[in-house]
């Protein structure tokens, strides 16, 4: 676990957004949440200081960022809740082609996490979980609160582990939330072990304290 300066986080996110959308390089690191503002069409949000709303990541054109392009997988880990107010999360650490790392976090049993973790597991089954890929995210088109969905794509092809997909579909159909969590836990543990990294406990769903100059990240 390393202490990383976040001085640039509160001043500008344009450089890192440009890098992960295929533009210029950046040395900025950030925590990214999925669909944090429910009434927004945006999908990727940067965590801010305490009391501040998460900020939607935008492309230079002003459009909402929906793809982290040409990234490689560094780690997949669980964030275990410490009290009744926290949600079990999956933390996915990604690295750009220029070496910048970000941590993307979402509820472990969300549709987004189920799709993305399943895609990463398909990469592992294919023999290479460290090859570059695109992480696509979008909002559903139905319902008042539109959930986020995700896909791991290599050369435009979405990766999917059929066995995990079927198991999750069956568990959801049965209303078995405990089984969904078990499947997701197992998948995250398999990926984490395959990447051979040390576990890190980072509560990225909580905003940074006011005036805080550092943030914990897995580098």
CA distance 115 to 90: 12
Backbone angles phi, psi at 58, to 5 degrees: -120, 150
What is residue 45's predicted lDDT score, i.e. its pLDDT? 94
What is residue 20's predicted lDDT score, i.e. its pLDDT? 61
Mean pLDDT of 11-25: 54
Of all residues in the chain, the percent with pLDDT exceeding 90 is 51
Task: Out of 9-18, 66-75, 77-86, 210-219, pick the least confident.
Answer: 210-219
pLDDT grade for 9, boundaries at 50, 70 and 90: very low
Q: Are strands 133-139 and 101-107 parallel, antiparallel or unpaired?
A: unpaired
Residues 6+ away with beta carbon under 8 Å from 203: 79, 82, 86
User: Residue 112's closest CA among 168, 54, 64?
Assistant: 168
What is residue 200's predicted lDDT score, i.e. its pLDDT? 44
CA distance 102 to 118: 20
Global pTM reads: 0.78
CA distance 53 to 36: 9
What is residue 72's predicted lDDT score, i.e. its pLDDT? 93
- pLDDT tens digits, one per residue of 32-90: 999 998 888 899 999 887 677 889 998 888 899 999 999 999 999 998 876 555 689 99
Q: Are 93 and 218 in contact (CB under 8 A)?
A: yes
CB-facing half-sphere around the CA of 165: CA atoms within 13 A: 12
**What distances in angstroms separate CA 114 from CA 1, 34, 91, 148, one per listed residue?**
27, 13, 13, 11
Mean pLDDT of 158-185: 96
Signed CA dihedral, 35, 148, 23, 134: sign only: positive
Higher per-residue confidence, 157 vs 31: 157
- Is the pLDDT at 192 greater than 60? The verdict is yes
Q: Are 199 and 75 in contact (CB under 8 A)?
A: no
**What distances in angstroms separate CA 33 from CA 86, 89, 91, 95, 191, one per listed residue?**
14, 11, 10, 16, 20
- pLDDT tens digits, one per residue of 109-120: 999 999 999 999
In the block, residue with structure tokens 């549709």: 111
- Is the pLDDT at 3 greater than 60? The verdict is no
């Amino acid at each position: 676990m390393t202490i990383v300066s976040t001085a640039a986080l509160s001043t500008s996110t344009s450089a890192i957004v440009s890098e992960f959308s295929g533009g210029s390089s950046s040395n900025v690191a950030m925590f990214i949440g999925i669909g944090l503002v429910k009434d927004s069409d945006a999908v990727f949000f940067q965590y801010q200081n305490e009391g501040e709303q998460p900020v939607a990541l935008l492309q230079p054109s002003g459009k909402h960022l929906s793809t982290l392009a040409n990234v490689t997988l560094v780690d997949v880990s669980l964030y275990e809740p410490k009290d009744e107010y926290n949600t079990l999360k999956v933390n996915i650490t990604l690295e750009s082609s220029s070496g910048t790392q970000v941590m993307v976090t979402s509820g472990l049993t969300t549709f987004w996490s189920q799709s993305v973790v399943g895609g990463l597991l398909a990469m592992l089954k294919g023999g290479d979980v460290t090859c570059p890929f695109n992480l696509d995210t979008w909002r559903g088109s139905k319902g008042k609160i539109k959930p986020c969905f995700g896909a791991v794509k290599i050369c435009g092809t979405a990766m999917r582990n059929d066995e995990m997909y079927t198991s999750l579909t069956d568990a959801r159909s049965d209303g078995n939330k405990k089984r969904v969590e078990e499947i997701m836990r197992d998948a995250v543990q398999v990926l984490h072990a395959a990447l051979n990294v040390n576990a890190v406990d980072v509560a990225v769903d909580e905003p940074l304290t006011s005036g805080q100059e550092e943030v914990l990240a897995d580098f």
